[in-house]
């Protein structure tokens, strides 16, 4: 939740106090940073599952090696990314943008990228470190750190952007400072695990069992352990990679928009991204509770979490539509962007709903070991989007705000349909249909 909350916060502050060109520059910078952050997300998932498995089996030595390897890999990857991103960003933005009127937005985006790139070692370390804390069942601490970081970022971003008038530069410095402060807190928590309680203590204790936490010992990291984690990623990692590339195909279409429309796209996209993260727990719960259970029990899990995800996404999507349609001034003070926010509002609502319809199916697919199908469905989606994007370019079709959001809508529609079709193929039913056999059994 940290990344979408931070993105929405800086988007709103720039929308209210900056110019549309500065708001548009955030959208261009997001193309670059989304690729870096989402690329690392696959290894984060493998790290979380590997560390959690070692802790549950009480394999303390292996858990220490895994934790050290996770953090050291994140730091190294962040340093490499911080060195490369400023160099490659001009070429990426040149590819995804068109029109001389956006040269100012590109220049502002590069300013923001050069500052935020310095935070990449902290950002990737925070992703890995917070996942490690979750694996150690220290979720209360994770929530506390996340809330503290988001609140601190909002405070200093308001100071830099609103009071000092630094705008896009202030947005970059706000992320840089807040991410490194969070990184220090996360590393401190990992280096000094909390006091432990024993099994006979009550479940109300705030400390996890002794065997669920291990200290961070950086020099225990090893290349062999990294290869093992990367290997365990398997088809889930491929699925995440294909999903990320599909998302970026959609996002790169926004580079061809005029500045005003690009600014509106950034505001709407930041709000929708936050809404999509509210749906994520349904998928994680489906993965957790569908593993190692009978088909009948899995059906109940899929149906319960599918309904939960669908209802939640409908309500959250409705809130997104309401803000974009009736309260656009909450996102930006530029009235010329408001009609464009209202224009994409139905697309954002439907996209969030389609995402909710997919989560129960994809979560159970992964939880019950159908990871090849999870990767395959996202490969098919990527192929569809790349084919359409290529066709639009070949026929020189002009990119509009509606065509950009139509591409996003197609992305979510294809994912939802394919996930449920693969679910039906493996499990023999659709989760939306009630199980009439349970009363007989």
Task: Determine which of 104-118, 135-149, 209-223 has the lowest per-residue pLDDT on average.
Answer: 209-223
357 has a pLDDT exceeding 70: yes
Share of the chain above pLDDT 90, in %: 29
Per 3-state DSSP, what percentage of the chain is helix, strand, and coil (rounded to 5)? 85, 0, 15
CA 121 to chain centre: 17
Q: Report the pLDDT value the prediction gives residue 207, as an integer from 0 to 100.
A: 52
Compute the distance between CA of residue 67 and CA of residue 342 in angstroms, rounded to an integer.
46
The confidence score (pLDDT) of residue 438 equals: 44
Question: Can you tell me the distance from the alpha carbon of 125 to that of 375, in angstroms, rounded to the nearest whole number?
Answer: 26
pLDDT at 204 > cutoff 50: no
Does the pLDDT at position 203 exceed 50? no
Q: For residues 360 and 302, is the Cβ–Cβ distance under 8 A?
A: yes
Is residue 138 pLDDT above 60, yes or no?
A: yes
Neighbours of 266 (CB within 10 A): 29
Task: Dig out the tokens for 360 from the structure.
Answer: 């129960």
**pLDDT band for position 183 (50/70/90)?**
very high
d(CA 416, CA 422): 10
pLDDT for 302: 77
Does 265 or 294 have the greater pLDDT score?
265
pTM score, whole prediction: 0.78
- In this predicted structure, what is the pLDDT of residue 27? 82
Average pLDDT score over residue span 111-133? 90
pLDDT at 196: 53
* Cβ pair 363, 284 in contact under 8 A: yes
Residue 252's pLDDT is what? 79
Residue 211: predicted pLDDT? 46
Structure confidence at residue 97 (pLDDT): 73
Would you kindly state where each structural domain of the chain is located, as residue ranges?
A: 1-221, 232-432
Asked if 371 contacts 314 with a C-beta cutoff of 8 angstroms, the reply is: no
d(CA 365, CA 423): 6
- Inter-axis angle of helices 223-252 and 60-96, nearest 10: 30
pLDDT in tens, 360-390: 788 888 777 788 888 899 999 999 999 998 8
CB 277 within 8 A of CB 320: no
Is the distance from CB of 382 to CB of 242 less than 8 angstroms? Answer: yes
Separation between Cα atoms, residue 214 and residue 61, nearest integer Å: 9
Q: What's the CA gap between 301 and 303, in Å, rounded?
A: 6
Q: Supply the pLDDT for residue 441.
A: 38
C-beta separation of 418 from 377 below 8 A: yes
């Amino acid at each position: 939740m940290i990344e979408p909350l931070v993105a929405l916060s800086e988007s709103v502050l720039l929308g209210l106090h900056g110019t549309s060109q500065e708001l548009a520059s955030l959208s261009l910078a997001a193309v670059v940073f989304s690729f870096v952050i989402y690329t690392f997300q696959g290894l984060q998932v493998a790290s979380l599952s590997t560390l959690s498995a070692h802790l549950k089996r009480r394999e303390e030595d292996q858990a220490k090696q895994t934790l050290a390897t996770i953090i050291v890999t994140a730091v190294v990857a962040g340093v490499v990314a911080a060195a490369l991103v400023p160099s490659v960003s001009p070429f990426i933005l040149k590819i995804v943008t068109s029109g001389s009127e956006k040269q100012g937005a590109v220049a502002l985006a590069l300013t923001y990228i050069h500052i935020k790139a310095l935070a990449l070692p902290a950002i990737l370390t925070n992703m890995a470190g917070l996942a490690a804390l979750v694996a150690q069942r220290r979720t209360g601490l994770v929530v506390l750190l996340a809330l503290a970081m988001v609140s601190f970022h909002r405070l200093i971003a308001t100071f830099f952007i609103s009071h000092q008038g630094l705008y896009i530069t202030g947005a970059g410095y706000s992320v840089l400072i807040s991410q490194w402060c969070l990184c220090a807190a996360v590393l401190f928590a990992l280096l000094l695990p909390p006091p432990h309680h024993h099994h006979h203590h009550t479940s109300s204790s705030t400390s996890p069992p002794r065997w669920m936490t291990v200290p961070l010992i950086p020099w225990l990291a090893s290349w062999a352990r990294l290869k093992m984690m990367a290997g365990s990623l398997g088809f889930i990692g491929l699925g995440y990679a294909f999903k990320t590339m599909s998302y970026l195909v959609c996002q790169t279409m926004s580079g061809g928009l005029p500045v005003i429309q690009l600014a509106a796209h950034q505001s709407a996209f930041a709000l929708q991204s936050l809404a999509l993260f509210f749906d994520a727990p349904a998928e994680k719960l489906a993965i957790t509770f569908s593993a190692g259970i009978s088909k009948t029990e899995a059906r109940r899990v899929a149906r319960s979490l599918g309904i939960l995800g669908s209802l939640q996404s409908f309500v959250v999507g409705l809130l997104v539509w309401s803000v974009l349609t009736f309260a656009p001034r909450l996102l930006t003070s530029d009235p010329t962007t408001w009609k464009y926010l209202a224009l994409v509002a139905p697309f954002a609502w439907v996209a969030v709903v389609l995402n909710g319809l997919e989560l129960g199916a994809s979560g159970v697919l992964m939880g019950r070991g159908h990871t090849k199908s999870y990767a395959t469905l996202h490969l098919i989606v990527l192929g569809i989007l790349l084919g359409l994007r290529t066709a639009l370019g070949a026929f020189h079709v002009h990119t509009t705000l509606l065509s950009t959001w139509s591409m996003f809508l197609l992305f979510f529609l294809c994912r939802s349909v394919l996930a449920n079709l693969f679910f039906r193929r493996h499990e023999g039913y659709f989760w939306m249909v009630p199980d009439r056999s349970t009363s007989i059994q």
